[in-house]
Amino acid sequence: MSEAEALLSELSDAVVAGNVQKARKLAERLVNEGVAASLALDKMMEAMRVVDKKYERKEYFTVDVAAASTAMREAFKVLEPNLDVETADTGSKVVIGSLKGNIQGLGKDIVAAALRSAGFHVIDLGVNVSPEAFVDSAVREQARVMAVSVSVNETVPYLKHLVSLLRGKKMSSTVKTVIGGRAVSEETCIEYGIDAYAKDAWDCVKKVRDLLNQ
């Protein structure tokens, strides 16, 4: 195992353990060693999937998940300025936010950073965003894509209202929608009439490009 691989493994372990200081220091070391920030980010996302599984098995509690999220967020602050994604060469605007009822913004923050790194103009609405606020922002900013994060199962039905608002304003053909998060899937797109599903930040960049090229 190379030194870089060892550091990436340590970073993953630090996130799973919720060790904030260690995660940040390891992120700094990786950047200083010239390891691609995207690799470190992928490793941390894998770590959060481990945390999710531990929570599902009741091995972790809410406080453990919060600690892991904090560790990832602090490491992400170090990595974000060093993200290197192919430039999109476009001024197209993307409105992004966590849907109403979703108060966890870490995944959304990562996607927003990846989109910015790809050259998109990102309008971040934050968390707990109502369908009305999404659509109003898309109208005001003349955005071409709405990226919606959904991590809470009970809030998925709000997507129906979101799509209904777009159709009511006759915007469904000009403003495309992409969803992501643990509570949604490709099947959700079919059920609610969403244009695309992204499994992670890098997939979201690809899906946004695809939607803009349609």
Give the CATH number, domain containing residue 14.
1.10.1240.10
pLDDT band at 119 (very low <50, low <70, confident <90, very high): confident
Whether residue 102 is found in the same domain as residue 205: yes
Whether residue 41 is found in the same domain as residue 99: no
> Which domain covers residue 59, as residue numbers?
3-82
pLDDT reading at 12 higher than 90: yes
Q: What is the pLDDT of residue 106?
A: 79
Of 115 and 96, more confident: 96
Average pLDDT over residues 116-132: 91
Residue 87 lies in a domain: no
Q: What is the pLDDT of residue 88?
A: 52
Whether residue 72 is found in the same domain as residue 110: no
Residue 197 lies in a domain: yes
Of 180 and 201, more confident: 180
Whether residue 41 is found in the same domain as residue 111: no
Give the CATH number, domain containing residue 137.
3.40.50.280
Residue 182 lies in a domain: yes
Contact 121, 92 (CB under 8 A): yes
Whether residue 38 is found in the same domain as residue 102: no
Residue 165 lies in a domain: yes
Whether residue 40 is found in the same domain as residue 114: no
Residue 88 lies in a domain: no
pLDDT reading at 87 higher than 60: no
Q: What is the pLDDT of residue 49?
A: 81
pTM recorded for the entire structure: 0.76
Q: Domain boundary at 82, 113, 132, which?
A: 82
**Residue 28 CA: distances (Å) to CA of 62, 63, 82:** 27, 25, 11
CA distance 15 to 66: 11
In the numeric block, which tokens belong to residue 104? 């966890």
Dihedral sign for Cα atoms in the order 35, 38, 44, 49: negative
Whether residue 22 is found in the same domain as residue 61: yes
Whether residue 111 is found in the same domain as residue 140: yes
pLDDT reading at 20 higher than 90: yes
Q: What is the pLDDT of residue 91?
A: 58
Q: Domain boundary at 29, 50, 82, which?
A: 82
Domain count for the chain = 2
Q: pLDDT of 186-211, one tens digit each?
A: 999 999 999 999 998 889 989 999 99
Q: pLDDT of 138-172, one tens digit each?
A: 999 999 999 999 999 999 999 999 999 999 999 98
Crossing angle of helices 62-79 and 3-17, in 10° steps, is 140
Whether residue 125 is found in the same domain as residue 192: yes
In the numeric block, which tokens belong to residue 158? 């709000």
pLDDT band at 55 (very low <50, low <70, confident <90, very high): confident
Average pLDDT over residues 45-69: 86
Q: What is the pLDDT of residue 157?
A: 97
Q: What is the pLDDT of residue 66?
A: 83
Q: What is the pLDDT of residue 90?
A: 52
Average pLDDT over residues 88-113: 84
| Residue among 151, 164, 154 at smallest CA distance from 193 | 164
Whether residue 106 is found in the same domain as residue 198: yes
Tell me what the pLDDT averaged over the chain comes to.
Answer: 90
